[in-house]
Amino acid sequence: MTRLSLPALSLGALLAVGTPALATECIAPANPGGGWDFTCRQIGRILYEIGAVPSPVQVTNMAGAGGGVAYTAVVSDRGDDGDLIVAASSATTTRLAQNAFAGMTADQVRWLGTIAGDPGVIVVAADSPYQTLGDLVAAVTADPSSVAFAGGSAVGGYDHLKVLMLMSRTGFEDARAIRYIGLDGGADAITQTVGGFTQAMTGDISEIGGFISSGEVRALAVLSPERIDGYDIPTAREQGVDLVAMNWRGLYVPHDITDEQFEAWTARLQQVADSEQWQQVMHDNGLAPYTLVGDEFEAFVNANIAEIQEISREIGILQ
């Protein structure tokens, strides 16, 4: 029997006998168990299950600098990798807007899409005199010192920004006058509000839902495009404030992939969004539908970053 040594085989021959294509990789810019890891693993699993990719998606955890280590690695070393997707959220764009990634900018990647979100919500204590979002806005407008908001992020973080964007949309212009107390997570913020130390709290429905259901707090508005299943909470839009503030779950891809590769990825992500598997994931994890894909999502990201930068300058986080 004739035996062929490996060096005798040409590259063409190797390809002809079925060398597997490169597998898709999803970078989760944090350790296992967090939101970005969840995004990679769930979207990756469904991509393979529905046949959108030919082999299981490899998840790589790359923690550091609140997503900055992964972002820098993609921009510097993987700029044209058409098999790479990266998990992102509202925290990613907030940090980019506030220059937290050491000079990196949002236009150094391409923003693929978001297919779900954790809606923001504004709540008050059960015995609060504020019955509607309009009541709360009116109180802040009349005397900003009379209302303190608690939130689970630091000053300048997304919980703080939700309040500032809310008031900005009502025509209130003095962002520095709005009182905000940043605490270590939503539970601490809820405790401050229930105890009467702050007059309102801002966070996400996933961390506040149990307190709403138990009656410990009263939700004045959910900051989603539509009402959320399981909760009788009016949206801000219903109450005359045109604000949607979702902690969205999505992806970006390297900047220098081809337009054809980008369009192929938008189609795959839309397939995931439309799948029964993703509907179940959202139901099981308290997420709401929020689908913006391709050019529509890139436009959203650019507008969101511009607004965050403007507000961040007003409160002194950016010069």
The architecture of the domain spanning 22-117+247-314 is 3-Layer(aba) Sandwich (3.40)
Closest C-alpha among 207, 216, 232 to residue 285: 207
**What is the rounded CA–CA span in Å between residue 121 and residue 235?**
9
Are residues 252 and 110 in contact, defined by beta-carbon separation less than 8 angstroms? yes
What is the phi/psi pair of residue 288, to 5°? -110, 150
Residue 221 parent element (H or E): strand 217-222
Q: Kindly tell me the sign of the dihedral angle through the C-alpha atoms of 148, 306, 290, 39.
A: negative
Is 13 buried (19+), middle (13-18) or exposed (0-12) by CB count in 10 A?
A: exposed
- List the helix and strand counts (H, then E) for the chain: 11, 10
CB 253 within 8 A of CB 83: no
Bridge pairing between strands 58-61 and 246-254 = unpaired
Average the pLDDT over each of 106-110, 149-153, 206-210 and give the range with the smallest value: 206-210
pLDDT in tens, 41-74: 999 999 999 999 999 999 999 999 999 999 999 9
pLDDT (0 to 100) of residue 296: 97
Q: What is the pLDDT of residue 151?
A: 94
Confidence grade of residue 286 (pLDDT, cut at 50, 70, 90): confident
By the 8 A CB rule, do 221 and 203 touch?
no
Give the per-residue pLDDT at 250. 97
Three-state DSSP class for 203? Answer: strand
187-199, pLDDT tens digit by residue?
899 999 999 999 9
**Tell me, what amino acid is at 209?**
G
119-239 maps to CATH 3.40.190.10: yes
Are 170 and 241 a contacting pair, CB within 8 Å? yes
pLDDT of residue 97: 96
Q: Map out the domains of the chain as residue ranges.
A: 22-117+247-314, 119-239
> Same CATH fold, 119-239 and 22-117+247-314?
yes
Is the confidence at residue 1, as pLDDT, over 70? no
DSSP string, 16-64: HTTPPPPPPEEEESS-TTSHHHHHHHHHHHHHHHTTSSSSPPEEEE---
**pLDDT surpassing 50 at residue 253:** yes
Asked if 130 contacts 139 with a C-beta cutoff of 8 angstroms, the reply is yes
Question: Token match 């900051």: residue?
Answer: 223
Between CA 138 and CA 145 the distance in angstroms is 12
CB 101 within 8 Å of CB 72: yes
pTM: 0.87
